[in-house]
Amino acid sequence: MRIIVSDTSCIIDLGKGSLLGAVLTLPYTFVMSDVLFADELIDFGPIARPKLLALGFQVVELDGEGTRRASEYFAQYRRLSLHDCFALALAAQTADCILLTGDGTLRQIATAMGIEVHGVLWVVDQLEHTQLGSVQQLYDALCCWEQDALVFLPRDELRRRIHRLRRLL
C-alpha cells in the first residue's frame, strides 16, 4: 500500500470537512512526522488525535539523519516553516510516497526533488472515484471549505467541483 505523508493543514482541512473517517479508508497508509503531530495538529470536532490513531493514521519519528535533513532544508529553503521541512524530510526518506500538502512552496520544492505531490482536492477526487465518500458528503465538505476563510484551496477548482456535485444530488 502506498504511503501518503501529510502536512498538518491538509489533515485539519479534511477534519473541517468531516472527511477524515472516509479518507482513512482509502487504499493508502497516511503518516505524519511526530513533530507535526505533537506541535501543530489541533483537535477538531469528532476526530481528535487519539481517534485519528485508532482509525489507522500513523505517526512516524524521524531518525537522526531525517532530523538533520529537516534542519538543512530549513536553512536552505527560508520560505518553508520548520514543520514543512519535517514533512519534506519524511517524504524524502519514504520511497514512492505521495506528499499531501497545500503549501505552494513546499509543493514546488518536493516536485523538483521528484516527490509526487497532491492536495486536499485530489483526496476528494480519490474518495469520489473509489465511492468511499458519498456525493452529499463530498459536496458538504467542499461547501464548508468554500465558506471557511482559513481554508486555502484554488477557488476555481473548488467551485467547479461544487457545481458538478450539486448536479449529481
Contact 70, 89 (CB under 8 A): yes
pLDDT at 72: 97
pLDDT at 41: 57
Contact 166, 139 (CB under 8 A): yes
pLDDT category at 5 given cuts 50, 70, 90 is: very high
pLDDT category at 37 given cuts 50, 70, 90 is: confident
CATH of 2-120 among 3.40.50.12780, 3.40.50.1010, 3.30.1130.10, 3.90.950.20: 3.40.50.1010
pLDDT at 42: 61
pLDDT at 51: 82
Predicted model pTM:
0.93
Say if residue 165's pLDDT is above 90. Answer: yes
pLDDT category at 52 given cuts 50, 70, 90 is: confident
DSSP assignment string, 52-118: HHHTT-EEE---HHHHHHHHHHHHH-TTS-HHHHHHHHHHHHSTT-EEE---HHHHHHHHHTT-EEE
Give mean pLDDT, residues 138-144: 98
More confident residue, 94 or 12: 94
pLDDT category at 63 given cuts 50, 70, 90 is: very high
Say if residue 8's pLDDT is above 70. Answer: yes
Give mean pLDDT, residues 155-164: 97
Say if residue 4's pLDDT is above 80. Answer: yes
Closest C-alpha to 8, from 131, 93, 132, 100: 100
Residue span(s) of the chain under CATH 3.40.50.1010 come to 2-120
